[in-house]
Amino acid sequence: MRNYPIVLINTVLSPLSFLVLIVFVSRGSLLGEAVEGAFIMSMFSSGMGLQGDLAHLKNDFKLQDMVVSSPTGWMTYMVGIAISEIVYSFPALAVLVVLAHFYLVLSIVGILEFVAVLILMFFASMAVGYTLSTFSSDIVQSFAFSRLLSTLFSTIPPVYYPITYIPLPFRYLAYFSPTTYAAELAQNAGGYLPLSVLMIGLDWGVLMAVALALFMIAKTKARWREV
């Protein structure tokens, strides 16, 4: 961040630009949902950013080869590098925390629920980023996939606005994205999208199942060790 400030600017502008756009289009009526969506996008993009960085470290510095030959396991390696990705998101998250203080009304339970949603989103995207990085042979390819997936899962689905804004039957297509379930839970916690107990349970079940499935794929399919 110190050597390449443009990275910091890009990290801050990515989630906030969509927030500003939604606020302008909705004339401020979707500000709360947009703030929550920016949080989700920041955490999802942080996890996906793992792909480009790990591919760079693997292909250009052969770091993964050195880690493989050490007692360090793939999980420790992935989580360790993933935590460093959060550092890049700190400026954007700091701005969002300030906005959340003024524009979100969350109970203690709601805050815990919202944080849990963000953590699950981060873990799920982290598993995807790690898995793809082990197959990538070029840093340009990694960045392309990272940006593509971040766009597909954090801007096209109803993350910055309620799913009720999507007309039927297209609304059902949004449920192919795990970020839709995350956004529904976040918006329910903020009082923007009332959900039944059944829907809340279903959303949590889908999110946890997706995160677990992606970690199992990372464990069994990622190319941790060259054969």
Q: How many CB atoms lie within 10 A of CB 144?
A: 14
pLDDT tens across 160-203, in order? 999 999 998 889 999 999 999 999 999 999 999 999 999 999 99
Q: What is the pLDDT of residues 128-171, one digit of tens each?
A: 999 988 888 777 777 777 778 877 888 889 999 999 999 988 89
Tell me what pLDDT residue 63 has: 84
End-to-end CA distance of the chain: 35
Q: What is the mean pLDDT of residues 201-217?
A: 96
Q: How far is CA 43 from CA 85, 95, 200, in A?
A: 9, 14, 21
Q: Which long-range contacts (CB under 8 A, 24 or more apart) does 65-73 make?
A: 65/226, 68/224, 68/225
Q: Name the pTM for this structure.
A: 0.90
Q: pLDDT tens for residues 41-55?
A: 999 988 888 888 888
Output the pLDDT for position 227.
43
Residue with tokens 């593509």: 148
Residue 2 CB burial class (10 angstroms; 0-12, 13-18, ≥19): exposed
